[in-house]
């Protein structure tokens, strides 16, 4: 009896906390959506930090100096002040291919269900990676590695993928409910593979002061939460993409030299940071990554750093909070995050009605990285004018489009991503 009472009381408390959290969040949502500027004439005057000027004031004029001297400086700024430092590859990490279906999707593909463990024990967080490769091809295939908002069963309607029971209070999952966002059929038809995992495998997406998910596994001594320069949730999700890459490098059906990372929205920010921090990713596809992704923060158009840090305090490291409403004082801006991908190709996808993500800011994030690509003799976006709707600029190493419709990844986006991969991975014009 006593136990039941304690349980009911504890459950009530938990619910109370969740409710209080939801209320706090919706008040902040309202505040920041009311405060958001969508008037181009109110964008403040700003000067972007020059990616090619080193801390000692000297100018970088060649790719070697960029790579040896300036790139590490830029990387360290993003790592220390924004995303936070992540640990390396865990020593005890191991993989288990739990199941292989060589005849998935009516024989069109092979599906592998892989579990990636980070510790010797198997009860700690792990990645459940779902890997599809097309059948009837010769040799290993180039891949898209996507970080997903939902369970792997939502990516495809493959009846072989188990649909889990919803967690208490959670949304019921339907097989294939996110199909449109993943376009697995199109990917396979074009001779590419698709690997996905759900981001919450690494760290649940709410602010609990880093008590659940992957972070506590790395606390040392009496540490209770990451230090101000240590990884937030976005860096943790991106770290997971690198761990998935550790597996892909071992899979003989995968051409691991040609893996493109993709994510949308908060997971677009994640994919861009994964590409910046792990040079094994040969291409980056940013879906509506917006503020703190590829959009220039100094524009303060749509979402701002403060709006982000208040509503999602767990996404970035503690140090990043000092730039709330002080974007002009940050020693970097998001064009330099794009520059960290150079000379690898990046595709920046914006959407027409997604003003919150600041489409022009995303375009300018790509533009601002051009001088770094130029050090390699590579063309970036290649023009100063924003394109028309559904008219991609995609013949350089920095591609950009603004697609008709909402904040999402849709069929049109994938058509462009595949063409972009064909161009850079297969030399197809
Ligand atoms: C919020 C947030 C964005 C983010 C988006 C998403 O809108 O403000 O920065 O990109 O969520 O991930 O869906």
Gap between the Cα atoms of 233 and 228, Å rounded: 13
Query: Which residue reads 């920046």 in tokens?
Result: 348
> Does a structural domain hold residue 128?
yes
Average pLDDT over every residue of 386-395: 98
Catalytic residue chosen out of the listed positions 126, 148, 265, 357: 265
Cβ neighbours around 227 below 10 Å, total: 13
pLDDT of residue 200: 97
- The total number of structural domains that make up the chain: 2
pLDDT of residue 148: 98
Q: Per-residue pLDDT for 363 more than 90?
A: yes
Does residue 290 have its Cβ closer than 6 Å to ligand 1?
yes
- My answer on whether omega of the bond before 334 falls inside 30° of 0, hence cis, is no
pLDDT of residue 335: 99
Q: Please tell me whether residues 86 and 228 are part of one structural domain.
A: yes
* For the CA of 266, the nearest atom of ligand 1: 12
> Does a structural domain hold residue 395?
yes
- What are φ and ψ of residue 271, in 5° steps? -65, -40
Q: Per-residue pLDDT for 149 more than 50?
A: yes
Ligand 1 pocket: which of 232, 237, 290 to mutate (most atoms <8 Å of CB)? 290
397 is a catalytic site residue? no
Residue 248 belongs to domain spanning: 63-426
> Does a structural domain hold residue 50?
no
Gap between the Cα atoms of 380 and 374, Å rounded: 8
Nearest to 150 by CA among 179, 125, 109, 115: 179
* For the CA of 269, the nearest atom of ligand 1: 10
**Token pair for 334:** 């998001």
Q: Please tell me whether residues 13 and 108 are part of one structural domain.
A: no
DSSP label of 14: H
* Cα 357 to averaged position of ligand 1 atoms, centre (Å): 8
- Give the tens place of pLDDT for each residue, 315-337: 999 999 999 999 999 999 999 99
Nearest to 358 by CA among 309, 305, 308, 289: 289
> Is the C-alpha dihedral spanning 173, 177, 181, 185 positive or negative?
positive
Q: Please tell me whether residues 134 and 206 are part of one structural domain.
A: yes
Cβ-proximal residues to 263 (8 Å cutoff; 6+ apart), any chain? 146, 147, 269, 270, 271, 272, 274, 285, 286, 287, 289
> Does a structural domain hold residue 57?
no
CB 375 within 8 A of CB 60: yes
* Cα 178 to averaged position of ligand 1 atoms, centre (Å): 17
**Token pair for 223:** 């540490």
Nearest CA to ligand 1 atom 13: 265
Gap between the Cα atoms of 407 and 415, Å rounded: 17
Does residue 158 have its Cβ closer than 6 Å to ligand 1?
no
> Does a structural domain hold residue 193?
yes
* Cα 219 to averaged position of ligand 1 atoms, centre (Å): 28
- Give the tens place of pLDDT for each residue, 84-120: 999 999 999 999 999 999 999 999 999 999 999 999 9
Reduced to 3 states, what is the DSSP secondary structure of residue 337?
helix
Q: Please tell me whether residues 27 and 74 are part of one structural domain.
A: no
> Does a structural domain hold residue 49?
no
Q: Please tell me whether residues 271 and 374 are part of one structural domain.
A: yes
Cβ-proximal residues to 144 (8 Å cutoff; 6+ apart), any chain? 187, 192, 193, 194, 195, 259, 260, 261, 262, 285, 417, 421
Q: Please tell me whether residues 184 and 233 are part of one structural domain.
A: yes
Gap between the Cα atoms of 40 and 73, Å rounded: 32
Q: Domain holding 242: CATH number?
A: 3.40.50.1820
Does residue 303 have its Cβ closer than 6 Å to ligand 1?
yes
Instruction: Report the DSSP pairing between strands 283-287 and 254-264.
Output: parallel
Q: Please tell me whether residues 221 and 296 are part of one structural domain.
A: yes
Share of the chain above pLDDT 70, in %: 95
pLDDT of residue 179: 97
CB 234 within 8 A of CB 315: yes
> Does a structural domain hold residue 213?
yes
pLDDT of residue 18: 65
* Cα 342 to averaged position of ligand 1 atoms, centre (Å): 25
> Does a structural domain hold residue 78?
yes
Q: Per-residue pLDDT for 398 more than 90?
A: yes
Nearest to 404 by CA among 347, 351, 348: 351
* For the CA of 265, the nearest atom of ligand 1: 10
Gap between the Cα atoms of 183 and 166, Å rounded: 24
* Cα 113 to averaged position of ligand 1 atoms, centre (Å): 29
- Give the tens place of pLDDT for each residue, 16-39: 556 766 777 789 999 999 999 999
Where on the phi/psi map is residue 346: left (φ > 0), alpha (ψ -120 to 50), or beta?
Answer: beta
Gap between the Cα atoms of 297 and 333, Å rounded: 6
Does residue 270 have its Cβ closer than 6 Å to ligand 1?
no
Does residue 397 have its Cβ closer than 6 Å to ligand 1?
no
Ligand 1 pocket: which of 266, 292, 312, 320 to mutate (most atoms <8 Å of CB)? 266
Gap between the Cα atoms of 97 and 114, Å rounded: 4
Reduced to 3 states, what is the DSSP secondary structure of residue 76?
helix
* Cα 265 to averaged position of ligand 1 atoms, centre (Å): 6
Q: Please tell me whether residues 14 and 138 are part of one structural domain.
A: no
> Sorting pLDDT into bands at 50, 70 and 90, what band is 399?
very high
424 is a catalytic site residue? no
**CA distances from residue 13 to 8, 9, 20 in whole angstroms, order as listed:** 9, 6, 10
Q: Please tell me whether residues 86 and 17 are part of one structural domain.
A: no
* Helix (H) or strand (E) run with residue 114 in it: strand 109-117
> Is the C-alpha dihedral spanning 197, 85, 285, 250 positive or negative?
negative
């Amino acid at each position: 009896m006593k136990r039941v009472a304690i349980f009911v009381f504890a459950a009530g408390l938990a619910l109370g906390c969740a409710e209080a959290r939801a209320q706090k969040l919706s008040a902040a949502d309202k505040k920041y959506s009311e405060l958001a500027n969508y008037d181009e004439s109110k964008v403040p005057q700003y000067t972007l930090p020059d990616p090619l000027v080193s801390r000692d004031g000297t100018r970088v004029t060649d790719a070697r100096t960029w790579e040896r001297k300036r790139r590490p400086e830029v990387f360290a700024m993003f790592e220390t002040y924004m995303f936070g430092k992540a640990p390396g590859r865990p020593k005890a990490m191991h993989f288990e291919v739990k199941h292989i279906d060589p005849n998935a999707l009516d024989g069109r593909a092979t599906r592998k269900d892989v579990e990636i463990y980070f510790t010797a024990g198997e009860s700690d967080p792990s990645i459940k990676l779902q890997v599809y490769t097309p059948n009837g091809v010769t040799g290993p295939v180039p891949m898209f590695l996507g970080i997903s908002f939902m369970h792997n069963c939502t990516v495809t309607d493959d009846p072989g993928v188990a649909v889990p029971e919803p967690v208490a209070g959670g949304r019921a999952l339907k097989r294939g409910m996110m199909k449109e966002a993943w376009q697995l059929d199109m990917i396979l038809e074009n001779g590419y593979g698709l690997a996905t995992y759900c981001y919450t495998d690494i760290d649940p997406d709410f602010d609990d002061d880093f008590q659940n998910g992957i972070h506590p596994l790395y606390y040392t001594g009496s540490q209770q939460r990451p230090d101000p320069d240590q990884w937030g949730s976005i860096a943790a999700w991106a770290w997971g993409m690198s761990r998935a890459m550790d597996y892909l490098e071992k899979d003989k059906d995968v051409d691991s030299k040609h893996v493109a990372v993709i994510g949308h929205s908060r997971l677009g920010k994640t994919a861009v940071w994964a590409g910046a921090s792990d040079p094994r990713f040969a291409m980056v596809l940013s879906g509506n990554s917006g503020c703190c992704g590829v959009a220039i923060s100094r524009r303060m158009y749509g979402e701002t750093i403060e709006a982000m840090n208040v509503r999602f305090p767990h996404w970035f490291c503690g140090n990043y909070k000092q730039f709330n409403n002080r974007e002009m004082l940050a020693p970097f801006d998001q064009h330099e995050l794009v520059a960290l991908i150079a000379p690898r190709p990046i595709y920046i996808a914006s959407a027409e009605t997604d003003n919150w993500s600041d489409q022009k800011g995303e375009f300018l994030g790509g533009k601002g990285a051009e001088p770094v690509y130029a050090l390699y003799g590579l063309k970036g976006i290649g023009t100063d004018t924003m394109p028309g709707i559904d008219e991609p600029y995609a013949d350089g190493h920095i591609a950009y489009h603004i697609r008709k419709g909402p904040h999402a990844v849709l069929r049109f986006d994938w058509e462009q991503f595949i063409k972009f991969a064909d161009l850079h991975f297969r030399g197809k014009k």
